[in-house]
Structure formats: C-alpha cells, structure tokens
Structure 1
C-alpha cells in the first residue's frame, strides 16, 4: 500500500472487522435479559459473525438471527449461525454476482432471493413494476394487493425475501422475470403488554444498558451521559414529528442508528433531497418519504452547500406544523426528521467565531428554520467508535424493538414531569415544545410505562432542557432581533427551589459562551468584549517575534541515559505561535512511537488558545509487514480522531524523503531531529514508573537536535 491517505481512510471499515473466536462470558444482565425476553433478543456480536460480504442493514441480519439463533444455548447459537450463513450464501444477491444468480434462476426455473425491492407505477401499462437493486432486474410485474400491503415499496424500497421465476417468450417487450412471492423482512407483531411487564423486573440502569446493547454498543464503554446521548438518537422512532440535529466529528457513529437500526426509518444523503422526493410530487400527486417512514434522516447534511430555498421553505412549515402544501392541497404527515453532519472545527472555535450551527448550509442557518429543531445532540462529546465499543452482550432484535417504538408513537408522555417540576414562564412556547417532546421520547424509551421516580424524571428533564437551550443560544448568536426578551432555562421543584440548566460547553468555556453579544461575528459590532471601538494591540505579535529571535539557534547533543529532557523544553518554545507544523518522521509505527506523537500533540493543544486551530502535517512510512501495517494504521487513525477533538487537524501522508527527520513551522523554524521523536529509552515500569507521567524522568538515547531560523 503506497497511498497513506487512502490507507487511513479505510480504517473505519476495519474497526470491528474481526469475528470473535471465543464465546463471550454471559453477564448477570445477559442472563436476566434472556430470562425475560427469550426469543426477542440476540447476541449482538453475531451480526459480524454472519455478515460476510453481504451489504445489508443489521436489522436484516438480526431478523434472520432472530429466527435461528435467538437462544442462550451455545450449540443452538452455532447451528443458527451456520443456518443464517447458508441462507445468505444461497439467497442473498451480491451485486457483483447478479449475472450468476440470474442464470441460476433461469436454470432452476424458480429461486429465492434476499434483495432490496423498489416499486414504481408504470402509467402506460397501468401496472406496478418491481426493481431489484442487487439482482439488477427491472420491470417485474407485482400485484396491487402486495403493494397495498407494503406501501414503503413505493418510496425508498424495502428489503424482502422473494421467489423469482423465469419464463421466456418471443415477445421482445415481455420481461421474463415473474414474482412468485414477496415477504418483507420484518416481525409480524409484538406483545407490548409482555414488554411492559418485563420492564418492571429491570432497574433503570439495567434497562438503559439493555437499550444500549440493543443498538449494538457496549454500555461498559460509556458513562451515563454517553448512554443518554446514544438513546436520544432513538427518539425520532418513538416520537412523532420530532426534529433533531447532531453535528460532531467523523467516525462517532452518528448515522449508524438511522441506517442500521430500524426498517421504519430511512437514511438519505442530504444532497439528494428534493421537494418531490421528500414531500409530494406535483405531477403525479404521490406523497413522498414523510408519508411512509417514521423517521427520515439526512446524512452528511452539513456538506450540502447548494440547498434549494423552496425545499427549505416547505420543510420549515412541515417542521413547525406537521403539514405541507403543494399546489392547492395541504398534506399532513408524522415522520420525524434527523439532520446529521460532520464538524470541521472544535466547539471553542465555533463559539469564538460563529455558533454551533456553523457547519450547516447557509439556507438552513435561517433562525426561523433552526427554531423548529427540538434538540441538538452534542456529537463532539461522543468518542470515535473503536472495536471494543461494540457489544457482545444480548440486546433486542432490532426489528422487535422497532415495532415496540412504533406502537408507542401514538402516546404522549410530555407532561409526566409536571407532578414534580415546573418550567420557567420565560421559556417560550416553541422552546417548551422542544423540551417536552425530547422528554416524552426519553420517557417512552427509559420508562415505557410512564412511571418513574422524581430523580429519574429530573435527569431526563434536565437533558431535554439542555438540548433545546443549545439550539436557542445559537439562534440568539445568529439573530440579534431575538435577544430582546430574557429567557431563563430553568425549572422549579415542589419546594419552589429554582434549578438553572446550562449546556456542558457553557460550563467548559464560559468566557466564550457568555461573551457580550456585540462580540459575535455578524452581529453588527465586532469590536470585542472588553471595549467598543478599541483597536487591537500589536504588542502580542511584536512580543512573539522578539521571543522567537531570542531562542537558541544551532546544534545540541544529548548523551545516553541523560534525564531531564522533554518535548516541552526541547521543542515547544519553537512551536509556539505556529498555525501549521510539519513533522517528517518515517518511524511512527510502534505503540511507543505513537505515544511520543500523542504527547507532543497534547503539549501543543495545551499551549494554544482553545478557540484556535492548528494544522499538523505528519509525513511517515507504512510498516512493511502487513499485520504491523494494520496495527499502525489503526493507531494513526485513533490519533487523528483524538487530535481533531483538541483543535489539531492532523493530516497524515507518505514521507517522500527517506530517513531524514525534521520539523518545520510557519513561523520560520526548521528543527532537524537526529532520532525523530523516538528519543526515550524503553521502560517496563508501567504506570508506577514516574517516567510514564513525566518525560523528564525518562532516560534518553544519544541524539542531536539542530535549530535553524529560516526567516526573520
């Protein structure tokens, strides 16, 4: 592999690629789950074991596992895995094998396939016709009764198990493919009363862990807040007309829930949305996605820079009123909407320079549109997905849980807090709607019977208030006209004591979050927080140049076993003030070399202003051994993901220069490194070794450093 950038890009797919070779030890919670929900739960690591090269959503695989491997008996599980693998091998249509499968259908006359089916109306012949995505056949006649039973076939497509027959005629217009039968991959029904009764046997903590395991995550890898954030992604499936935004770094699993979790939701690219596709086609009168799906999620929403203003306007009305008009007709729908996007800046950077909706297309930064969002999920709090974050415990077969959530969409739990708490009257009706809908959704998920203790209700209410406050505070940054009336996001308890709610970023960066409105870019007065009309002092820049001029220039040698050396004293003074740093080191391969890089990046992150961002370009070389190369790429991927959260954009590329090791900054320094960053001797002391905490306590290997000032 020669292209390091491409290699790094593949690592998301490698995460969790391995199939466990050992049977996981069943926890006490797993025993309890299986005891109360036998037949409706499955071991979550089995999905990876059976997936192979089948590019299908997890709910399709879990549907099959639920039929054959929903057991806690290992022999039954293994037999079920073999059965599902055999079914997939025999019936799943791999796109690049479609010619072979079509030949098999012709040879056998009839063959069962697993494929995604989409139906369109052929107005000319007045028949419905089915298209098979992977089999790549079109125009297969499907009877109206089947379409009426499964209307989602008309919008977005449905994964199905189908019997396809072949019959050739001399008519050149005739399609030789005949649909013998079609069965959507979904459970037939659920016993919700049993679901309620079984819930009573679980503590709130156990139940939340069960839900987290059900969406494929390991609850041991998440704190209470992290679990709540993960569950918030499920609210669009249990709450009608719920509008949520999640923006955060790449690789945090934002879209996973919407693409893999439920057959009742659809994930589409934000750039592929049209009014006709989403709402209604004026030409045909056919309603769009919102009429058929419980949740419509927009992936890579922040990357769509060419938004259709007409779409924005229609969507704005729908988000507010659950209806939309096209022509002379008014339509209503219940689909929730989720808007998912990647952030390219850190939270403090956005707070200093704009707002938390900074990444959205300009057309969607309309305060009226944003005000329709009920909750903002802070995606930057979610750690990048690692293999150990996937669950190997038992969770609901996602199709079973999806049907439970769908059944609860008709219920309203938004007032369940009123026996204990009261929202402040300054909170507007629209703000209260956002809080109440988020709270209702969380209650349905965590306390599906509607019964909960005061402390449990308080936790969900505060989280709901925080998510709406994040929306409102960003709107106030964008639109000065909405700042006239003071809003207090707080609630009182039965004793009349008021409790203020603040977002986590508000607590973490108060100097940026609570600065004067006049300092917000685009507000009409960007003169600063401390004074109006004051010119920024040039003194810091002058002082910075003077300090760099005083730094040592020339060569220094360090001897074997010397102590008292650290990147903080050796390199950091020369990196101060730089916004671009370039490191050439071909040996960032092993774990301790990766640790050296992380320690340098951590020093840079701690030195810089939290609201500033630095580009760090690493040029290195991949290991020749394929196994070592894979570990190296996984390590580099983790470092890239960690760095971006601290305001350092780490770009990794192949070093074209051989064995030379050096650093260059945009402030004019070149530092030639004899050994690169690998200057410390190996230590086996672990965490009890003082050198594991402070570099200056470690012994170094003999090395030299040359400092060159390339420009004044």
Structure 2
C-alpha cells in the first residue's frame, strides 16, 4: 500500500490529501461532506501535520456548527454587520409572490426567514438547483414594518476549488499498469481501505456503487445488512447526487410540482438514491410508481400537461435480513415496499448489488494514507457522465442476438459502459481495448448484475423466465 500511496502523491500532487488527518481530531466530530473536509485538510496540513489551531480558528469563524446558529443570528441582528460563512445554501422561488426564499440548513433558516436579491439569484443559478456549498455573505435586513425582518444573502462564491481535467486524469491512469492497483485507487478515492476487502470480486461490488455517478440513467437496487457503507457513498462523496433517507417523498418532489410550476429533484442531480427504502413514506405510492415506470424506461415523464426529461440515475437502497451468509428469503425484493414489488416496475432496473457480500464497515475499513480528494474525484465522475466514447466502444465490441430481450440488452450495455468508464477511462478507441480485461471487469459483472434482476422477476411472476440472452464479445 505504500507503493500506491507514493504513486498517488506523484501523479496527483495538487489533488491528493492525507485522508487519515480528516478521520481523526477536530474534523472527525463534524458532519461535513468529504469534499469540504478534504479541502480543509489540504489547506491546513503540511508534511502530514495538521495545523489544528489555524483549522479551529477557521471553523469557528466561517464554518459554525448548528449549536451556534442562534448566536450567529443574534450577531447579525444586534451588530448589523455582514458575516461570511461556508455552508450549503439553497433558494426556492415563490411563484405566487415572485420572491426568492433562502434556506441555510446549518443555521436553521428556512421558509420566509431568508431572502436573496433577484440579481444575485440570477447570477448564482446553482442555488436554484437543489442548493450548493459556498462562501456566503449574510446581513440582517429590516422589513418595512416590524416583524418582517429577514436574513439576506448579499454575495455568494460557489465552493468549487477544483475543475475536472479528464485529460490529466486519463494520463495518470496510464501509469497504473495493473488493473487491481487501479481498483485499489478507486476504493481509496471512495474513502475505504482496499485491504479490508477479501477479493477483487468484493472490490468490484464496492465500486459498482459508483456506476450511477458516471453513467446517465442507470437504475440499480442494492440490498444489504446495516453498516456496509451504502449511505455514506451515496450521501457524502459527491455534491452532484441527492440522497433521500427516510421521511416522505411525493411525485411533485421527484418530478414536477404543478402548484409551484417547479421541476423536481430528478432534473437537478446526477443520481437520486432512496435510502432506508422500507421507512420512506410516499404521499401517493401508485402515483409515484406510475411516474417512475415511465422515467426509468425512457428518461421522460408527464405530469398533467407538463412533459419533462432528465438523465439522473435512480437507486433504491434497503436493508435485508441475512441468515449465515445469504438472505433469509430467496425472493430479495420482499425487502422492498409492497408497491415496489411489481414485476413491471422491477424489470426497469438494470442491475442488483448484493450488498451482503460486502464487508461490514469497521474502524479498520476507513481509508489510510493518501487518496485524491473527494471534490476532485466527484468532479471527474461528473464529467465522465458526458463522455460518449465509452458507449460507442462498448456497442462496437458486444454482440447482442436479435431475439434478446430489449431491457436485458440495454441493462448489460449500460452497466458494462459504467464499469468501462470507471476502470479504463484512458481508453479512447476499440483498438486499445484488452478484450480479456473487458470481459472480466466490465461485461461479466454487468451480465451478473442483470441476471439477479432477471432471476428475481422469474420468482415473483411466472411470465418471466430466468434465462438471459447470449450476449458475447464480437472480438475474441
């Protein structure tokens, strides 16, 4: 692992960070996204030593925790001075009044307690798309009459310290001659220690969680015992994803709110993950599943007279009861809410991740040493989504029989393309493809992920067979 550490430091001198520093001390007590904590480490660490005094000073001044929310509000009102903080901000337009309402979760500011000028809202469109982390300058704005005061955002600088340079990333990939070493690199980038996995197969299952990060409209189900890290990956690694954990979900929230004339979250993010799916309450389950069926199939949806399109991937995450090393029930989908157990709905998912085959996350599972920082990694994954060359390469080397089920074929191609983007980002033509490596690390895992979906369909609906199409490589 020391060799991998050295290689990461050599190939990514400006993007690597000592992850061990963010997993202990001051930052370990703060629930910060990885892309924020990594940036802080790179800013306040030198020669593997963290300047805790300077870091604490920065946190106290610019990154308050929720316990200081009332204190900051009091300061804004009583001193009438502007305050800058690093936080997540979001803006919600009010169609009825024409005003823009500001939300700052870390300060518990919501509803009509916060506002933003129309000019700044127009200049900072990312605030309208589900919100964004950044440096915001706040003032207390007195209302025209008593009782109408608000906290106003007067300036905003998005938190985006790195831009994705895919050429740079691809060139670095060429220096990893061994595929297993590159997979270890990806595991470390996900903030886990590669040594905590028993096999390459386990590691492939772990990085399969990144498929929705790099491939548009890939739909997955993962069921696993508690404590396998699925919530962390989907909730903390990237600002381009949205994790819903528990609570309630409506069709308006996901797709389109007719009353507010506002597009839903599925149009704003690279992926939507519904976590703890058994505990999520749906305002109208049939309505939600109906809209999802159309979207999962085509990327389109229709709500009333509104027709929309999106390319967000969709992920269901849930817990499953295990006996020994296998699920207690051979029908895995029994762990899903009843209204999601319909075969026509499940058939629209491209792959299944057997989360019970992943190790439980322990203290020793956390990444040690160097890895690329999460902000840079998330930008790279985001940019890979729009790279169409891998799709073309995969389509050129895979043979799909004419009598293949269309959903099976689409699923296998899409999952294989996702793996290709993750593991072989530097390959730009068919001539460069190592067919055996592609078979082992892309095609076979894709077929297996879809095979599980197909098997589950055959167990719950006699109209479905568990037979898979004989998809194979054109080049031997």
TM-score by length of 1: 0.61
TM alignment of 1:626-637, pairs within 5 A? none
Aligned to 1:96: 67
Aligned to 1:252: 228
Aligned to 1:135: 107
TM alignment of 1:223-372, pairs within 5 A? 223-304=199-280, 308-346=285-323, 347=326, 349-351=328-330, 355-372=331-348
Cα distance in 2 for partners of 1:464, 1:271 equals 32
Aligned to 1:183: 157
SS of the equivalent of 2:416 reads helix
Deviations 1:132-155 (A, max 9, x none): 212123433213344345445335
1:453 matches 2:434: yes
1:475 matches 2:457: yes
Please say which of residues 363-372 and 49-58 is displaced more in the overlay.
49-58
Q: 1:29 to 1:447 in 2, by over 3 A?
A: same
Q: 1:193 aligns with which of 164, 167, 177?
A: 167
Please say which of residues 428-437 and 300-309 is displaced more in the overlay.
300-309
1:221 matches 2:200: no
Q: 1:165 aligns with which of 129, 136, 139?
A: 139
SS of the equivalent of 2:307 reads strand
Cα distance in 1 for partners of 2:416, 2:9 equals 29
SS of the equivalent of 1:259 reads helix
Cα distance in 2 for partners of 1:193, 1:45 equals 28
Aligned to 1:648: none
Q: 1:490, CA displacement in angstroms?
A: 5.7
Cα distance in 1 for partners of 2:301, 2:103 equals 29
Cα distance in 2 for partners of 1:191, 1:348 equals 42
Cα distance in 1 for partners of 2:277, 2:17 equals 33
Deviations 1:532-581 (A, max 9, x none): xxxxxxxxxxxxxxxxxxxxxxxxxxxxxxxxxxxxxxxxxxxxxxxxxx
Q: 1:420 to 1:123 in 2, by over 3 A?
A: closer
SS of the equivalent of 1:481 reads coil
Alpha-carbon RMSD: 2.4
Q: 1:152·1:293 contact (CA, 8 Å) conserved in 2?
A: no
Cα distance in 2 for partners of 1:313, 1:267 equals 21
SS of the equivalent of 2:160 reads coil
Q: 1:44·1:213 contact (CA, 8 Å) conserved in 2?
A: no
Aligned to 2:3: 28
Please say which of residues 341-350 and 27-36 is displaced more in the overlay.
341-350
Q: 1:233, CA displacement in angstroms?
A: 0.8
Q: 2:89·2:134 contact (CA, 8 Å) conserved in 1?
A: yes
Deviations 1:62-112 (A, max 9, x none): 23334444x6x23xx423x54433322222222222122223334371222
Q: 1:113 to 1:441 in 2, by over 3 A?
A: same
Q: 1:226 to 1:249 in 2, by over 3 A?
A: same
Aligned to 2:369: 393
Cα distance in 2 for partners of 1:296, 1:270 equals 13
Q: 2:320·2:327 contact (CA, 8 Å) conserved in 1?
A: no
Unaligned runs of 5+ in 1: 1-25, 496-712
Q: 2:140·2:149 contact (CA, 8 Å) conserved in 1?
A: no
Deviations 1:451-501 (A, max 9, x none): 442221011210110000000110011111123x95455636746xxxxxx
Cα distance in 2 for partners of 1:466, 1:61 equals 36
Q: 1:250, CA displacement in angstroms?
A: 0.7
Deviations 1:584-623 (A, max 9, x none): xxxxxxxxxxxxxxxxxxxxxxxxxxxxxxxxxxxxxxxx
TM alignment of 1:595-634, pairs within 5 A? none
1:118 matches 2:120: no
Q: 1:129, CA displacement in angstroms?
A: 2.1
Cα distance in 1 for partners of 2:15, 2:79 equals 38
Cα distance in 2 for partners of 1:324, 1:67 equals 44
Q: 1:323 to 1:443 in 2, by over 3 A?
A: same
SS of the equivalent of 2:421 reads helix
Q: 1:243 to 1:185 in 2, by over 3 A?
A: same
Q: 1:185, CA displacement in angstroms?
A: 2.3
Q: 1:63·1:185 contact (CA, 8 Å) conserved in 2?
A: no
Cα distance in 1 for partners of 2:142, 2:365 equals 51
Q: 1:188 to 1:429 in 2, by over 3 A?
A: same
Q: Work out the number of aligned pairs and report it.
A: 461
Aligned to 1:147: 121
Cα distance in 1 for partners of 2:256, 2:96 equals 21
Aligned to 1:205: 180
Aligned to 1:439: 416
Q: 1:420, CA displacement in angstroms?
A: 5.7
Rg larger in 1 or in 2? 1
Q: 1:488 to 1:433 in 2, by over 3 A?
A: closer
Q: 1:189, CA displacement in angstroms?
A: 1.9
SS of the equivalent of 1:252 reads coil
